[in-house]
Amino acid sequence: MAELLEAWWRLQMSKVSIYKLPAEDVIKQWKYMGYYIEEALVPIAGRSEFLRGNIMAALETGKLTCWVGFEGEDLQAIATTSVVGESISGCRQLLIYSLSSVGNISKEMFNEGIKHFKSLAKSLDCQQIVAYSAVPSVISFCVAAGFQTFGALVLDVNKEK
């Protein structure tokens, strides 16, 4: 009960709030949360029950973390993150595996989210943030915030031209 009151108080005191969700809460609300997580996945991830199971397992083991962003009482964003390493250079990266808006995300919410994830990345000794999203408004915000974009060349070997 004390945690709930503390969360409520923080929400009232700050216009924009970002919270880490416990894995069990994400999984209990998978029908809702999963929709937004999967919506943001880039085509290379695919869509399948196998992937859903992997995402849930990664949440349960702590390999993937789910975050929600509120503006006032309105849920505006859902993101999942993981720390990954690029094996050749040894560069650690905070991977924003999925980043989705719930309705229209405000510029203030996005900017606070970037500050949050930059701070998180630094605390985890990451040199970069890499984000995946297939949501056009999120991509536009990322470009405006200074993210570099690179083209992804993806060929599904199981499909004919």
- In this predicted structure, what is the pLDDT of residue 14? 56
Tens of pLDDT along 137-160?
778 888 888 888 876 666 667 777
Amino acid 64: pLDDT? 95
Question: Residue 43 gets which letter from DSSP?
Answer: G
What pLDDT shows up at residue 150? 74
Element (H, E) at 34: helix 30-39
Separation CA 38–CA 47 (nearest Å): 8
Model pTM score: 0.78
Domains for the chain: give ranges and CATH numbers: 2-144 (3.40.630.30)
Taking alpha carbons only, the member of 25, 11, 18, 33 closest to residue 111 is 18
Query: Measuring CA to CA, which residue among 144, 146, 95, 100 is closest to residue 121?
Result: 95
pLDDT attached to residue 38: 85
> Which residue spans within the chain are E strands per DSSP?
16-21, 65-71, 74-85, 92-101, 128-131
Q: What is the pLDDT of residues 43-92, one digit of tens each?
A: 655 566 667 778 889 999 999 999 999 888 888 999 999 999 888 888 89
pLDDT at position 42, please? 65
Q: What is the dihedral of CA 124, 21, 40, 143, to 10 degrees?
A: -50
Per-residue pLDDT, averaged over 89-107, amounts to 86
Give the span between the Cα atoms of 2 and 104, in whole angstroms: 31
Report, as an integer, the average pLDDT of 9-23: 77
Contacts 24+ apart (CB under 8 A), 24-32: 24/60, 26/56, 26/59, 26/66, 27/56, 27/59, 27/60, 30/56
Query: Which of 37 and 134 is assigned the larger pLDDT?
Result: 37
What mean pLDDT is predicted for residues 32-42? 84
More confident residue, 140 or 9: 140
